[in-house]
């Protein structure tokens, strides 16, 4: 990743409940982004991606609190693809509280989550368990975080879900179940399956940029 143009404007902070980075926006009419890294990432991991897909937007990027072999994550898993769902619910509530803290501290609106892999999964869990916290989400390689989520009202919230056709981690049927959960909750879902694996591609960036440009503006 490139260096932050203004280190004081996007510095690591420990004052709130998550270690995080915050970069103020220059476009007052754009929704802030909540950037949620994948396993092994940190609060700096998606900053450059956020700048690429939403120039001028405020960026809030926390570091996951769970360590797996020293690698930060947002919740525990029992093994690949099998999640500790009690911890998922606890960590989603913890993240929701952090978003509230950050909104008060930085004076920002409800953010759109942009999550990759483990970050996309905690974003989906937060949408389904605390729907009031997020304005929408871009879920990159997400899978079902909760087998039986609570009833949620996601009417009016847009969600872009980008899956990989040859993703070795997220089976097609799993992505389909997440689509069903989000649709049943009323989300305006745009699901695309790209000819890629679990890693991100230029197509992901282009689609996320286009979707955010159409979905971000704050209500008058």
- Residues catalogued as catalytic: 117, 167, 198
Residue 159, helix vs strand vs coil: strand
- CB-count exposure of residue 104 (10 Å: 0-12, 13-18, 19+): exposed
CA–CA gap between residue 184 and residue 186 (Å, rounded) = 5
Alpha-carbon distances of 27 from 30, 97, 136, rounded to whole Å: 6, 25, 18
Q: Which residues make beta-bridge pairs with 11?
A: 22
Alpha-carbon distances of 16 from 3, 93, 98, 119, 150, rounded to whole Å: 24, 15, 7, 19, 28
Instruction: Calculate the CA 175 to chain-centre distance.
Output: 16
Q: Which residues make beta-bridge pairs with 192?
A: 162
The residue with tokens 């420990």 is 14
Q: Count Cβ neighbours within 10 Å for each residue of 179-196 and write b for 16 or more, e otherwise.
A: bebbeebebebebeebeb
- CB-count exposure of residue 61 (10 Å: 0-12, 13-18, 19+): buried
């Amino acid at each position: 990743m490139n260096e932050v143009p203004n280190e004081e404007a996007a510095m690591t902070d420990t004052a709130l409940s998550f270690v995080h980075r915050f970069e103020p926006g220059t476009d007052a009419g754009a929704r802030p982004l909540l950037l949620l890294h994948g396993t092994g990432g940190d609060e700096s991991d998606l900053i450059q991606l956020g700048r690429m897909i939403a120039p001028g937007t405020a960026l809030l990027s926390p570091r996951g609190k769970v360590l797996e072999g020293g690698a930060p994550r947002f919740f525990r898993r029992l093994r690949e693809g099998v999640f500790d769902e009690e911890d998922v619910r606890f960590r989603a509530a913890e993240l929701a509280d952090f978003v509230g803290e950050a909104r008060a501290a930085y004076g920002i609106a409800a953010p759109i989550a942009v999550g990759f892999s483990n970050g996309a999964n905690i974003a989906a869990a937060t949408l389904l368990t605390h729907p009031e916290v997020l304005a929408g989400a871009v879920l990159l390689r997400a899978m079902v975080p909760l087998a039986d989520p609570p009833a949620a009202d996601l009417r009016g919230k847009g969600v872009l879900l980008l899956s990989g056709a040859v993703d070795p981690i997220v089976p097609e049927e799993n992505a389909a179940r997440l689509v069903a959960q989000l649709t049943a909750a009323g989300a305006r879902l745009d699901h695309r399956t790209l000819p890629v694996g679990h890693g991100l591609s230029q197509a992901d960036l282009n689609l996320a940029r286009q979707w955010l440009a159409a979905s971000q503006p704050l209500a008058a």
